[in-house]
Amino acid sequence: MDYPEQAIGEPFVKNPKMSMRNVDVFYGDKQAIYNVNVDIGQNEVIAMIGPSGCGKSTFLRSINRMNDTVESCRVHGELSLDGEDIYAAKMDPVALRARVGMVFQKPNPFPKSIYDNVSYGPRLHGLASRRAELDEIVENSLRRAGLWEEVKDRLDQPGTGLSGGQQQRLCIARAIAISPEVILMDEPCSALDPIATAKIEELIAELSENYTIAIVTHSMQQAARVSHRTAYFHLGHLVEVNDTEKVFTAPEHALTEAYITGRFG
């Protein structure tokens, strides 16, 4: 199969929050991402879709240097946040991950209280000097994550005691608490029921007013509901990036069309 040299459609935007150019990612000798070029716009929600194993998670994890934790993984290319090279020697990956937060597939609250789950990051990054400030950050983050009303009377109870959907909103509150600029979500609803999924999707729409969001999803309906642009990956290649509506109604590339019409994937 021939892949376009450059993703077709509109991979670039006027005011990018993040820019990725000529990105190749390897695990040992095996190449997982081939020459990907794409921007993520300020306050946009971009969905990354494609068949299993096409490299969506690998690419997502490259843009906040989560892949640094995988020994065999090497990322080549130019990746920037507000024009700053995120792989520069002077870039602290911990500070970067505070600016580009991540929510994982499986809700993973710390084995700590609800309060401590949310206050841990702000404490670590010195965002609050007094208890009252920390309380305010915890409340605001839980409110933004749509969880405050459900947990305000039991902040001292373990985060792991919440339902799956509540745990995922707790993880989103934890990500928000350190005031990230970008939030990466790797299949955030795949472990949730339809009602919990709907809540997270509503939340994504609200959060996009203040944050830039990239979401990997297996659900094309979800991509269609929550995102502004959609990026279609195939075997490590970025094939097409377009307005979400266009991708799902008039895809430009035959591979995108085959995927969205269910001919493979």
The answer to whether residue 56 forms part of the interface with ligand ATP (CB under 6 A) is yes
Mapping DSSP to helix (H, G, I), strand (E, B) and coil, where does residue 107 land? coil
Nearer to ligand ATP, 144 or 237 (CB): 237
Using CB under 6 A, count the residues that bind ligand ATP. 12
Nearer to ligand ATP, 45 or 216 (CB): 216
Contact segment (CB under 6 A) with ligand ATP among 50-58, 82-90, 172-180, 252-260 equals 50-58
- By CB under 6 A, the residues from 59 to 88 that bind ligand ATP are 70, 72
Place of tokens 């985060």: 159
Per-residue DSSP letters for 164-231?
HHHHHHHHHHHHHTT--SEEEEESTTTTS-HHHHHHHHHHHHHHTTTSEEEEE-S-HHHHHHH-SEEE
Rounded Cα distance between 155 and 213, Å, is: 27
Pattern 12-41, ligand ATP, x by CB under 6 A: ---------------x----x---------
HSE-CB for 111 with a 13 A CA cutoff = 0
Nearer to ligand ATP, 16 or 50 (CB): 50
Rounded Cα distance between 252 and 240, Å, is: 7
The answer to whether residue 214 forms part of the interface with ligand ATP (CB under 6 A) is no
The answer to whether residue 57 forms part of the interface with ligand ATP (CB under 6 A) is yes
Nearest to 77 by CA among 32, 36, 29: 36
Contact segment (CB under 6 A) with ligand ATP among 14-22, 47-55, 87-95, 240-248 equals 47-55
Residue of the chain from 5, 14, 29, 52 that contacts ligand ATP (CB under 6 A): 52
Token pair in block for residue 145 = 């994550």
Distances (CA, A) of 29 to 8, 73, 236: 28, 9, 14
The answer to whether residue 234 forms part of the interface with ligand ATP (CB under 6 A) is no
Least distance in Å: CB of 100 to ligand ATP?
Answer: 17
Residue of the chain from 35, 37, 58, 227 that contacts ligand ATP (CB under 6 A): 58
Nearer to ligand ATP, 54 or 155 (CB): 54
Nearer to ligand ATP, 71 or 153 (CB): 71
Nearer to ligand ATP, 75 or 178 (CB): 75
Rounded Cα distance between 200 and 204, Å, is: 6
Contact by Cβ (8 Å): 124, 95: no
- By CB under 6 A, the residues from 129 to 168 that bind ligand ATP are none
The answer to whether residue 55 forms part of the interface with ligand ATP (CB under 6 A) is yes
List CB contacts of 116: < 8 A, sequence separation 6 or more.
110, 159
HSE-CB for 7 with a 13 A CA cutoff = 31
Nearer to ligand ATP, 98 or 241 (CB): 241
Q: Give me the residues that bind ligand ATP (CB under 6 A), please.
A: 27, 32, 50, 52-58, 70, 72
